[in-house]
């Protein structure tokens, strides 16, 4: 698609808005209009792919995303995240969350670092939840070189889940994924979606690429043109008299022997 304005998720005032809000909103709208089965497959793969901060996997086998609900920023009833059975905090960014600060989930150094960063105002980027309060996923998204901040994640855990980041880590409820990995997961859905949803996925992948995230599939040399036949000659000569150079009978270059002579030997 050449004209970006023909993309389903592109906005005219994109340059005046917070770019991470644009991308997050587009991604949430995209998920909300997919069929239930495709939405369930994509979200399940996203959570399974998420980088864990412990060795244990995020247990999402029992979660059903076919009837998932969505919200942006603070537009959610606070009762839902605090009372859902399964609380998850998922980050989406250029680089995965650095797990170095969680070597020990209850370590004094990590705890002190997080508590000292408690000045953040907690405004999550998006939510995925269900009406039965089986699960509630808080999404924190970053684009470009903007890093994830531990203090901000801690504020999310406290303000919205009534918990702490350490508790989420201990329960294997904190994970992160990159936008490139999101693209890879979306591309892998083409094998089981119909043409209308495939088109929707193409638009979403294209919109993500506007932020600098693109999959590299190698270089295709199939469309390269054949090199031209060049003849070295005098342009003043007729074409039939053009000079053709033949290098087959050139003699081999001489063998040189480099020697060092001391001043005393001269």
**String of DSSP letters for 132-148:** T-SEEEEEEE--TTPPP
Give the CA distances from residue 137 to residues 13, 67, 140, 183, in Å, rounded to whole numbers and listed in that order. Answer: 29, 14, 10, 20
Model pLDDT, residue 218: 72
Model pLDDT, residue 191: 87
β-bridge pairing 51-52 and 174-178: antiparallel
Model pLDDT, residue 227: 76
Listed in sequence order, the DSSP H helices in 188-227 are 195-209
Model pLDDT, residue 110: 45
Q: Kindly give the interhelix angle for 195-209 and 19-33, rounded to the nearest 10 degrees.
A: 170
CA 236, distance to chain mean position in Å, is 59
Model pLDDT, residue 14: 55
pTM of the entire structure? 0.73
Model pLDDT, residue 111: 47
Model pLDDT, residue 108: 43
Return per-residue pLDDT of the chain as tens, 266 residues. 456 656 666 665 655 554 567 899 999 999 999 999 999 999 999 999 887 766 666 667 789 999 999 999 999 999 999 999 999 999 999 998 876 655 444 444 444 444 554 455 689 999 999 999 999 999 999 998 888 888 899 999 999 999 999 899 888 899 999 999 999 999 999 988 999 999 999 999 999 998 999 988 777 677 777 777 766 555 555 555 555 667 777 788 777 776 666 666 55
Q: Which residues contact 139 (CB under 8 A, 6 or more apart)?
A: 24, 90, 91, 92, 124, 125, 126, 127, 128
Give me 111's structure tokens: 């705890």
């Amino acid at each position: 698609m050449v004209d970006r304005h023909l993309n389903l998720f592109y906005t005219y005032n994109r340059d005046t808005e917070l770019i991470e809000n644009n991308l997050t909103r587009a991604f949430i709208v995209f998920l909300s209009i997919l069929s239930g089965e495709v939405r369930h497959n994509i979200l399940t793969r996203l959570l399974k792919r998420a980088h864990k901060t412990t060795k244990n996997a995020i247990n999402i086998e029992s979660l059903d995303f076919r009837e998932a609900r969505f919200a942006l920023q603070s537009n959610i009833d606070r009762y839902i995240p605090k009372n859902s059975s399964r609380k998850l905090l998922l980050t989406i960014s250029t680089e995965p969350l650095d797990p170095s600060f969680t070597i020990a989930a209850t370590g004094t150094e990590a705890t002190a670092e997080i508590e000292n960063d408690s000045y953040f105002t907690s405004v999550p980027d998006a939510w995925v939840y269900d009406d039965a309060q089986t699960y509630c996923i808080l999404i924190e998204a970053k684009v470009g070189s903007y890093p994830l901040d531990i203090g901000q994640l801690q504020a999310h855990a406290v303000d919205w889940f009534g918990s702490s980041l350490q508790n989420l880590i201990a329960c294997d409820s904190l994970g992160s994924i990159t936008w490139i990995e999101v693209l890879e997961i979306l591309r892998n859905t083409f094998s089981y979606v119909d043409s209308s949803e495939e088109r929707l996925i193409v638009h979403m992948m294209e919109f993500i690429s506007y932020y600098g995230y693109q999959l590299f599939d190698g270089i295709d040399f199939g469309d390269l043109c054949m090199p031209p036949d060049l003849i070295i000659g005098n342009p003043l000569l007729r074409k039939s008299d053009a000079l053709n150079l033949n290098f087959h009978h050139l003699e081999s270059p001489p063998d040189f022997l480099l020697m060092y002579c001391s001043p005393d030997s001269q």
